[in-house]
Amino acid sequence: MTIADLWDQRISAFLLSPSQFLATTTSESFLAELLHELRNDKANDQLKILLVSVLLDHPTILCPSSSVGEETALELLSVFSHTPQKSISLKCNVMLAITNVIICTSCLAAHTKMAEDWLDLLFQTIQDTNDYRCGLSQQPIRATACDCLREMETCCPGLLSQKLESLHLLKQQETTVLHQSYCMLYTLGLKNAIRILTKQKDVNDLEFKSILGGNEGFVWKSNQLGLTLLPINMMVQVPRLPPRLDCKELKSIMASLLEESYLLTPISQSALLRELVEVVAMVPGLSPTLFKSQLLRLFGTAEVELMHATLFMKDTFTDSLFTAEDENFLLKRLVSTAQHPLLGTPEKLFYMDCILHFPENRPISSSGEESLPVLVTPRLAASLLPTVFNDSATMLCRLNLLCLVHLEADEGEADKGIDYLFDHIMALLKIVDSDGSREVVVTSFRAVFIFLTHFSGMEELSEKLIDKLCDMYSRHFRLAPNLIGLADRIQECLGDHVWSVKLLRGLQKCIMEMPPLQLTIHNLSWHLKVLKRVAKEGPITQRNTIYLLLNVLINSNLCERGNWQVGNAVLAVCRNLLEHPSIDQVFIELADLLQYISVHYDDTDIKDHARFYYTLLTNLSWEKLTGVLAKGPDGGRAKERSHSAIMAEGEGIASNLTVRKSERHVLRLVKVQEKPSQSSSESSESLEATGETKKSLEVYQEQFQVPGFGSEVTLRYNLTHADETDALFDRVFTICLHFELKDSNYAKVSDIHVPCVFRDRKPPEVNVKLKPFQPYPTTICVSAIFTTQDGRSWHSQLPDVSVSFPEIFLPLPLPLNTSRACKEEVFDRIWEAAASGSPDKSAVSLFCFKAGDESLADLIKTHFQGYLITDQQSERSWKVLFFLPPMCHVLLVITQAEDAVQVSIATDNWELLPFVNSYLQDITDHCSTTVTDG
């Protein structure tokens, strides 16, 4: 793996999750590495641009303080100075990174020396107009300098307010494509300078002209503008200059900028027009008619950005710039553009939204609520009627607009239009009834919602919709979530339960009248969802629901099958029935239902819950019952105060339903000391001459290509009590162990459930299965939720579990009957591949240590016995192979020389060498070691 690939992986990991990445290092260390690599002359420009991108995306993470930001900016400035002139792209990225760091770390706001020097350098850079000094190749540098200055002026408004004459002169001199950048920079500085003047009292002509002709230094004093835009709308007062100032020079500048605006790109034109609109709004001596010459071009534009700027202009100046004819023409233009066949869906939706929120010259409503412009009549909007051939977004947008149109139309036109919209809704539902796709279903129900929010008061149409929806449900039970969601949203939006109650009552009736053959387990799950929702409505009687549930349970094998999901769905209906205000009318029937479930349902959990509900029903008043079952504001567990109402004296059941947190460790995982496994070479002597060597090698190679082959490592632990625990925890039950990894080198570890742990019994064994992405050591955070003998639930943190490097070792994954000769051949093949493979992946190394014959034999027996490939004691040589999932090998050839023991190392992943070296040092720490890497 090359250095560039390594950095690419590290930066990708950092950008994916900075907090997780910095859990293994520090921001200071990572920043130092970045800056060191940026100063490396051997690194190419592409790698350095990648490194700089980190400071562009997360400057405050790597530079948490102003001092660190200033130091980092100085380092980047050094990199910028030493970057060759030909590396244009790198220099531009470094410029952006310096500006970003200076702004985000408050160096600009604090007026540091670095910020001042950088601002001077940027201004010197843009003074090379038309590339006279540095040449055409350096033009991107000037463009980036303009962008950096604009960003600094935006974040520190007024910074360039005393440089307007210089900026204006540079703008006039520039004749290249960068004229646009200079124009935008000057306009932003002009607007902010005027806005600062509006904060002063008694501004005279001299002060006003001094701003326009300023050619001094940068304005570092703090101001109160911040980053907010001007509050330009009809509801808020705009800050303005005194009305009698001499504005001839400013008017000339404005006219010049407007004349040049057509040379800019649409996005830049839009930004320029907005800045100039704000300037005119702040200066009473400027008339909005300055923009009159631009209206004809803007009315005919096909650019979304320019149309947005036009509407902003109209919202600001209304009839002082736009006549009634202009307003009518612009609205018609929006209607025609909203259905233009060459425009994409996003553009059409934008124009539809512009129609809906069209800034009228004299709006009827000033409350800010959504209301249709007066000029949008049924005749004007007739071409925007929705059809089933529209895409979902366009159709829903048109439907909403036309609903508003016909809601405010005259009686005759309104009836005709509403009938068309209703027929459109029914056509959509007919498509759904014909097994429409999920998108069609969702779109249709959204359309029904939009129609009802406007016309729910029309009883005849509402009743027809309910009949159609119930009829559809009788054939398509999968629509239950959509119908429930529709009822919920209508209640939230309208604050009126009438329509939703009618729909839910109709669905309940539909379910009651279904033939028994349709009440299969799959269909019943949908019906139970509906009945659960129906049980929440007080005006709907629930006796039929209870009779249906009893009938289904008694006359079917549901109780014998003991399906937990079905049982839980039935109990969910019962829970809502317990809170129903008319529970007194169905008390006996509900009690019979709960008692039947608690006796006959073949699932202990369902029985217990049914028994609990039965106890609540028969012992509490409805007021206390609803208090017990009430949920908190966040929808969480029931309030402890309500649960305590069950028992006037005593402990109450709130303590039994609360998960408590232990202050100390209660449990811990202790590694099981496994006995050294027998060498596979000793168990297969009889198979050496079977002729299976080649076949076994092919089997290994084929299996190795199978995804997931040998991908898991199983670690065995004993779950036992911690050293010091309260006697309360001597016996704990139903333990759920939860694992959280501290790095991203392993897949998520599944929860493990243990029935019980008793202090006076043998601890149960727990097998933790790890699936490595990279076979590195790791640490696992472990927590447990369990129950004590008194029925209380507890949450406890366990000591972290460390997974060492040798714990990841696995023997060579070959069939059990593989001969020793075959294993040796596999070893030799892998060694050759590692020794001659790509240096980006493979590597070889040498490790030496001193040991006597007896200590060496003990070391091999203790640590390598289960991984031996050959044991040639007569030649004082051993071959060892570790398989590290998912796809790595570490091979050792141990040879005893006269003066030392040599361990030759080969691996197909060079990143494992430091771990291998540490491992060998640990097991030979009683000997003096010498390491040589090759």
The CATH homologous superfamily to which domain 667-672+698-807 belongs is: Coatomer, gamma subunit, appendage domain (2.60.40.1480)
Average pLDDT rounded to a whole number, residues 596-622: 89
Average pLDDT rounded to a whole number, residues 280-299: 92
Average pLDDT rounded to a whole number, residues 552-564: 91
The answer to whether residue 39 scores a pLDDT higher than 80 is: yes
CB 317 within 8 A of CB 284: no
pLDDT band, residue 642 (cuts 50/70/90): very low
The answer to whether residue 707 scores a pLDDT higher than 50 is: no
The answer to whether residue 904 scores a pLDDT higher than 70 is: yes
Which residue has better confidence, 713 or 97? 97
| CA distance linking residue 594 with residue 562, whole number of Å | 15
| CA distance linking residue 618 with residue 614, whole number of Å | 6
Which of 922, 842, 867, 714 shows the shortest CA–CA distance to 1?
842
Of the candidate ranges 2-11, 190-199, 343-352, 361-370, the one whose mean pLDDT is the lowest: 361-370
For the stretch 730-789, pLDDT in tens is 999 889 999 999 888 898 999 999 989 998 889 999 999 999 988 999 999 999 999 888
Average pLDDT rounded to a whole number, residues 50-77: 94
Q: What is the DSSP letter of 237?
A: P
**Cα angle 443-446-449, degrees, rounded to a multiple of 5:** 155
Average pLDDT over the chain reads 85
Neighbours of 368 (CB within 10 A): 9
- Specify whether the backbone of 562 is left (phi greater than 0), alpha (psi in -120 to 50) or beta: left
Average pLDDT rounded to a whole number, residues 23-31: 91
| CA distance linking residue 838 with residue 389, whole number of Å | 58
Of the candidate ranges 521-525, 582-586, 648-652, the one whose mean pLDDT is the lowest: 648-652
For the stretch 92-142, pLDDT in tens is 999 999 999 999 998 998 888 999 999 999 999 999 898 888 888 889 999
For the stretch 789-847, pLDDT in tens is 887 889 999 999 999 999 988 887 777 677 778 888 888 888 888 887 666 678 888 89
| CA distance linking residue 714 with residue 887, whole number of Å | 16
> What is the pLDDT, as a whole number, of residue 697?
53
Q: What share of the chain has pLDDT > 70, as a percent?
A: 88
Average pLDDT rounded to a whole number, residues 570-594: 92
> What is the pLDDT, as a whole number, of residue 372?
83
| CA distance linking residue 420 with residue 381, whole number of Å | 13
The answer to whether residue 863 scores a pLDDT higher than 70 is: yes
| CA distance linking residue 698 with residue 709, whole number of Å | 15
CB 763 within 8 A of CB 747: no
The answer to whether residue 641 scores a pLDDT higher than 60 is: no
> What is the pLDDT, as a whole number, of residue 575?
93
The answer to whether residue 679 scores a pLDDT higher than 70 is: no
Neighbours of 145 (CB within 10 A): 24
Average pLDDT rounded to a whole number, residues 622-647: 55
Q: What share of the chain has pLDDT > 90, as a percent?
A: 54
The answer to whether residue 875 scores a pLDDT higher than 80 is: no
For the stretch 261-284, pLDDT in tens is 988 999 999 999 999 999 999 999
> What is the pLDDT, as a whole number, of residue 899?
79
Which of 319, 323, 297, 320 shows the shortest CA–CA distance to 310?
297
CB 668 within 8 A of CB 721: yes
pLDDT band, residue 164 (cuts 50/70/90): very high
The answer to whether residue 683 scores a pLDDT higher than 70 is: no
Q: How far apart are the first and last CA of the chain?
A: 16
| CA distance linking residue 477 with residue 568, whole number of Å | 19
Q: What CA–CA distances, in Å, run from 383 to 347, 355, 427?
A: 17, 13, 19
Domain 809-926 belongs in CATH node 3.30.310.10? yes
CB 459 within 8 A of CB 425: no
The answer to whether residue 681 scores a pLDDT higher than 80 is: no
For the stretch 392-411, pLDDT in tens is 999 999 999 999 999 877 77
The answer to whether residue 653 scores a pLDDT higher than 50 is: no
CB 38 within 8 A of CB 28: no
Average pLDDT rounded to a whole number, residues 684-696: 42
pLDDT band, residue 238 (cuts 50/70/90): confident
> What is the pLDDT, as a whole number, of residue 236?
52
Is 0.85 surpassed by the pTM of this model? no
> Which residue type sits at 85?
Q
Specify the 3-state DSSP secondary structure of 713. Answer: strand
Question: What is the greatest pairwise CA distance in the chain?
Answer: 111
Instruction: Give the list of residues 6+ apart from residue 313 with CB closer than 8 angstroms, or none.
Output: 273, 277, 291, 298, 321
Average pLDDT rounded to a whole number, residues 881-908: 88
Average pLDDT rounded to a whole number, residues 449-476: 93
pLDDT band, residue 364 (cuts 50/70/90): low
Average pLDDT rounded to a whole number, residues 52-60: 93
Query: What are the φ and ψ backbone dihedral angles of 198, each rounded to 5 degrees?
Result: -65, -20
Look at the alpha carbons of 246, 247, 253, 255 in this order and tell me if their dihedral is positive or negative.
negative
